[in-house]
Amino acid sequence: MKPHTFLLSAIALILALSAVSCSKTSQSDAEMNACIDSIMAKMTLDEKLGQLNLPAAGDIVTGKASQSNIGRLIAEGKAGGVFNVKGVEKIKELQRIAVEESRLGIPLIFGMDVIHGYETVFPIPLALSCSWDTAAIRRSARIAATEASACGICWTFSPMVDICRDPRWGRMAEGSGEDPFLGAAIARVMVEGYQGDGLKKNDEIMACVKHFALYGAAEAGRDYNTVDMSRQRMFNDYFAPYKAGADAGAGSFMTSFNLVDGIPATANRWLVTDVLRGMWNFDGFVVTDYASIAEMRQHGIGDLKVSSAMALAAGTDMDMVADGFSGTLAQSLEEGNIDMGQIDTAVRRVLEAKYKLGLFADPYKYIDAKREQTEVYTEANRTEARRIATETFVLLKNEGNILPLRKGGRIAVVGPLADTRANMPGTWSVAAVPEKYKTVVEGIRDAVGPRGTVTYAKGSNLYADPALEAAVTVFGRQMRDPRSEEALRAEAVALARSCDVVIAAMGEASESSGEAASRTDISLPDTQKKLLEALLATGKPVVMLNFSGRANVMTWESAQVPAILNVWFGGSEAADAIADVVFGDVSPSGKLTITMPRSVGQIPIYYSQLNTGRPKNNDAQFEKYLSGYIDSPNSPLYPFGYGLSYTTFSYSDFALSAHDMKSGDTVTASVRVTNTGSREADEIVQLYIRDIEASTSRPLKELKGFRRIHLKPGENATVEFPVTVDLLKHYNYELEYVAEPGEFSIMIGPDSRTLRSATITLH
Ligand code: NOJ
């Protein structure tokens, strides 16, 4: 064979092989690389930039998608994916345009904000975290993935893992609370739940860990606001959940809107490349948040062209909505401000994601109209959602054991949240179908059945001020009653007088939290407080159901109302789940994953605080020259980890298997927990550690373990926590992850305030 003939045959063979490897679902790196090499060799610069573009979908009408703006973009190879389109037919049509009409036929990736379920909506993430039930949270993500994928979605913008210690920030609702250890555990199981067994099956979808990074630390709790913190705090208090997501193999990350060290996260090379890819070995792709490249102009960094080049150079791969990559990178390349290698790297990462999802082998892998009919909002999924919801409610107070109520007698259900379907699922439930969900009144009524009467009166609007109410009842959730607040209240009071007990469904509307829903006053609006006061004045027992997407200030309520159940937003099955707990079919077991402050003035407030040089007894009143307030104790109203049950638990026999440790040792910390009440229930046992002597100041306590156990009346269990040297580590000043010799205090208890402790010395 002549040399050139040999060369040609070899090339033909390579091309043939790479074509074959694209049609395989194999995940061997060599085959994936061969597939992507073969595609990239054919791509024009425009087509490459198209893969980096994630445009807004707009309103897609089935049957007319090809004439829409997005349809044209796809056909021209100018979109790498589309997001937040609901319905398998629409998605199929868009995919058909990509595969059949674009020159190279590269399939699209379809994303959606499937944050806490699809049509079967689970409790908001903050609520889910209060279950501390990682197995259940993993199942919720699995179910969400199954339903979303049955409708054509292969990529979810979840988990949202931003640590938040400022409840003014509305997006506290979307995360797992204030603690990095618990947050990391939840991030891990959510990624695993979504991605299943490595994206092989058509019900496994790619996770997107967001918002990288520190979005929850916005100054003053104002959404999109500046973040500024030391690297030590980033690594010790905020980064763990993102890292856990990367370690669990999340296929993608989303950058945040905020600054990190003065540079927008989207264009922060230290963050996206050095930390995420360098330190954590993340090998997926990074997408921006919505238009965040364009927003860099407002941050004072530069115009769209400058910002896009900077974002690409930082290691960001895909541009959501800004049209910065597709619109300006060609010019930046020509001007020498970026190079082709940077573009190719980003394109390769996006194509790799599509390959890993199996879209090259079968662009219609997630398109199955039958699955959409049979796998969404099923009985089984709803049962699971209802069960998990019961685990998320936190019983804050239960004076005189008012709860559980008996299923009988005359029950008045009142309050602005009592009879609204649209407000049940909670914020960021893009695929929810509220018409299918029950209201609180319906849930209570169904549970009581013919044994009693359940009557309803609204009692008040959310706010007396219609403008405030309008701000929190957007997206079709309006529920204003035109009557005066006095008239509404009078009606409810009359109803309460005629009943044996009052259930007051109050608090926030679903859109009082979530994106762009920050509040300076996080207490119950005045008109609702007046209603509560009037209901209490009737002398009837009042049970308050607090709907909420954040920690609220409930100082007045906790002094006045005998029973308070924090129900957050419990998802599509919330009404039945509330009835399950209110009537005692299930004992409440949720525990707070955020600190409930006494007043807004205490914010930011979190249990893992540093000691200061002048510490003061947290519950004591003012003392001059100690770290405190003139007008308030430092302690919160309800601490992190707190939650009551219908039974009681006692903790005894706290022990450590040793008091000295050296590298490689494990000490066992144990405690006996006994159900001392009369109902079976779950208890969440918590382990905290303090590093007493360290090279930098360490928190008074940090959660390092938790266990959810179930005990029958009189039953006990010994709960053991292995304390490894790893658990004693922190990031030192040089950002090395180290366990420093010295004393550590090991604490176990039912919440972050009620702890027994003993010390270990690490040699
Ligand atoms: C903006 C939000 O910040 C983000 O969480 C979401 O995933 C995107 N929009 C896409 O909807």
Lowest-confidence range among 55-69, 79-93, 518-532, 555-569? 55-69
* Model confidence pLDDT, tens digit, residues 621-633: 999 999 999 999 9
Question: Within 10 Å of residue 678's Cβ, how many Cβ atoms?
Answer: 10
In the reported structure, the alpha carbon of residue 419 is separated from the centroid of ligand 1 by a whole-number distance in angstroms of 29
Q: Is the pLDDT of residue 61 over 80?
A: no
In the reported structure, the alpha carbon of residue 289 is separated from the centroid of ligand 1 by a whole-number distance in angstroms of 6
Which residues share a beta bridge with 160?
210
The DSSP call for residue 366 is T
Rounded Cα gap, residues 697 and 479, in angstroms: 50
Q: Is the pLDDT of residue 18 over 50?
A: no
Judged by DSSP in three states, 746 sits in strand
pLDDT bucket at 21, cuts 50 / 70 / 90:
low
HEC profile for 177-237? CCCHHHHHHHHHHHHHHHHCCCCCCCCCCEEEEEEECCHHHCHHHCCCCCCCCCHHHHHHH
Q: Is residue 31 in contact with ligand 1, taking CB distance under 6 Å? A: no
Residue nearest to atom 7 of ligand 1 (CA): 157
Exposure string of 30-65, with b = 16+ CB inside 10 Å and e = fewer, is ebbebbbebbbeebeeebbbbbbbbbebeebeeeeb
Interacting residues of 316 by C-beta distance below 8 A, sequence separation 6+: 255, 266, 267, 272, 286, 287, 288, 346
| Residue of 212, 289, 292, 293 to mutate, ligand 1, most atoms within 8 A of C-beta | 289
Residue-level length of the chain = 763
Closest to 669 in 3D by CA, of 569, 595, 749, 585:
749
Closest atom, ligand 1, to C-alpha of 157: 7
Rounded Cα gap, residues 572 and 569, in angstroms: 9
* Model confidence pLDDT, tens digit, residues 295-337: 999 999 999 999 999 999 999 999 999 999 999 999 999 999 9
The DSSP call for residue 429 is B
Q: Is residue 428 in contact with ligand 1, taking CB distance under 6 Å? A: no
Residue nearest to atom 3 of ligand 1 (CA): 289
Do 119 and 147 meet the contact criterion of CB atoms below 8 Å apart?
yes
Do 412 and 455 meet the contact criterion of CB atoms below 8 Å apart?
yes
Identify the pLDDT of residue 28: 86
Closest atom, ligand 1, to C-alpha of 215: 3
Which has more confidence, 89 or 17? 89
Question: Distance from CA of residue 14 to its chain's centroid?
Answer: 45
Rounded Cα gap, residues 300 and 18, in angstroms: 45
In the reported structure, the alpha carbon of residue 47 is separated from the centroid of ligand 1 by a whole-number distance in angstroms of 25
Question: Within 10 Å of residue 198's Cβ, how many Cβ atoms?
Answer: 11
Question: Within 10 Å of residue 567's Cβ, how many Cβ atoms?
Answer: 29
pLDDT bucket at 66, cuts 50 / 70 / 90:
confident
* CA dihedral sign of residues 261, 266, 272, 273: negative
Do 649 and 674 meet the contact criterion of CB atoms below 8 Å apart?
yes
Rounded Cα gap, residues 17 and 542, in angstroms: 72
* Model confidence pLDDT, tens digit, residues 712-723: 999 999 999 999
Amino acid in the structure at residue 614: R
Closest atom, ligand 1, to C-alpha of 158: 7
pLDDT bucket at 2, cuts 50 / 70 / 90:
very low
* Model confidence pLDDT, tens digit, residues 571-592: 999 999 999 999 999 999 999 9
Identify the pLDDT of residue 9: 44
Q: Is residue 515 in contact with ligand 1, taking CB distance under 6 Å? A: yes
Q: Which residues carry out catalysis?
A: 289
In the reported structure, the alpha carbon of residue 290 is separated from the centroid of ligand 1 by a whole-number distance in angstroms of 6
Closest to 196 in 3D by CA, of 358, 87, 35:
358
Residue nearest to atom 10 of ligand 1 (CA): 290
Question: Distance from CA of residue 704 to its chain's centroid?
Answer: 20
Identify the pLDDT of residue 26: 64
Two structure tokens written together for 442: 């319906």
Q: Is the pLDDT of residue 430 over 90?
A: yes
Q: Is the pLDDT of residue 384 over 90?
A: yes
Q: Is residue 270 in contact with ligand 1, taking CB distance under 6 Å? A: no
Rounded Cα gap, residues 364 and 370, in angstroms: 13
Phi-psi region of 189 (alpha: psi -120 to 50; beta: other; left: phi over 0): alpha
When pLDDT is averaged across residues 146-169 and rounded to a whole number, the result is: 98
| Residue of 290, 295, 428, 513 to mutate, ligand 1, most atoms within 8 A of C-beta | 290
Identify the pLDDT of residue 19: 43
In terms of DSSP bridges, do strands 730-731 and 737-738 run parallel, antiparallel, or are they unpaired? antiparallel
Rounded Cα gap, residues 202 and 357, in angstroms: 9
Q: Dihedrals φ, ψ of 457, to 5°?
A: -145, 145
Q: Is the pLDDT of residue 711 over 80?
A: yes
When pLDDT is averaged across residues 155-172 and rounded to a whole number, the result is: 98
Which helix (H) or strand (E) is 670 found in, with range?
strand 666-675
* Model confidence pLDDT, tens digit, residues 333-376: 999 999 999 999 999 999 999 999 999 999 999 999 999 999 99
Do 420 and 668 meet the contact criterion of CB atoms below 8 Å apart?
no
Identify the pLDDT of residue 5: 47
Closest atom, ligand 1, to C-alpha of 211: 5
Identify the pLDDT of residue 161: 98
HEC profile for 7-66? HHHHHHHHHHHHHHHHCCCCCCHHHHHHHHHHHHHHCCHHHHHHHCEECECCCCCCCCHH
Rounded Cα gap, residues 428 and 434, in angstroms: 13
In the reported structure, the alpha carbon of residue 29 is separated from the centroid of ligand 1 by a whole-number distance in angstroms of 31
When pLDDT is averaged across residues 554-561 and rounded to a whole number, the result is: 98
The DSSP call for residue 258 is S
Q: Is the pLDDT of residue 16 over 60?
A: no
Q: Looking at 354-435, which runs of residues are DSSP E strands?
A: 394-398, 409-414
Identify the pLDDT of residue 60: 72
The end-to-end CA distance of the chain, in Å, is: 72
* Model confidence pLDDT, tens digit, residues 468-501: 999 999 988 899 999 999 999 999 999 999 999 9
Q: Is the pLDDT of residue 23 over 80?
A: no
CA atoms within 13 A on the CB side of 57: 21
Residue nearest to atom 9 of ligand 1 (CA): 290
Q: What is the average pLDDT score of the chain?
A: 95
Q: Is residue 157 in contact with ligand 1, taking CB distance under 6 Å? A: yes
In the reported structure, the alpha carbon of residue 64 is separated from the centroid of ligand 1 by a whole-number distance in angstroms of 26
Do 207 and 115 meet the contact criterion of CB atoms below 8 Å apart?
no
CA angle (759 as vertex; 758, 761 as ends), nearest 5: 160
Interacting residues of 136 by C-beta distance below 8 A, sequence separation 6+: 128, 384, 387, 388, 391
Do 572 and 431 meet the contact criterion of CB atoms below 8 Å apart?
no
Q: Dihedrals φ, ψ of 670, to 5°?
A: -135, 160
Which helix (H) or strand (E) is 485 found in, with range?
helix 485-497
Q: Is residue 290 in contact with ligand 1, taking CB distance under 6 Å? A: yes
Identify the pLDDT of residue 476: 86
Identify the pLDDT of residue 80: 98
Identify the pLDDT of residue 27: 64
Q: Is the pLDDT of residue 251 over 50?
A: yes
SS3 content of the chain, % helix, strand, coil (to 5): 35, 20, 45
* Model confidence pLDDT, tens digit, residues 407-416: 999 999 999 9
Identify the pLDDT of residue 10: 43
Closest to 529 in 3D by CA, of 512, 542, 511:
542
CA angle (690 as vertex; 685, 694 as ends), nearest 5: 160
In the reported structure, the alpha carbon of residue 213 is separated from the centroid of ligand 1 by a whole-number distance in angstroms of 14
The DSSP call for residue 91 is H
Q: What percent of the chain has pLDDT over 90?
A: 93
Identify the pLDDT of residue 64: 76
Q: Is residue 113 in contact with ligand 1, taking CB distance under 6 Å? A: yes
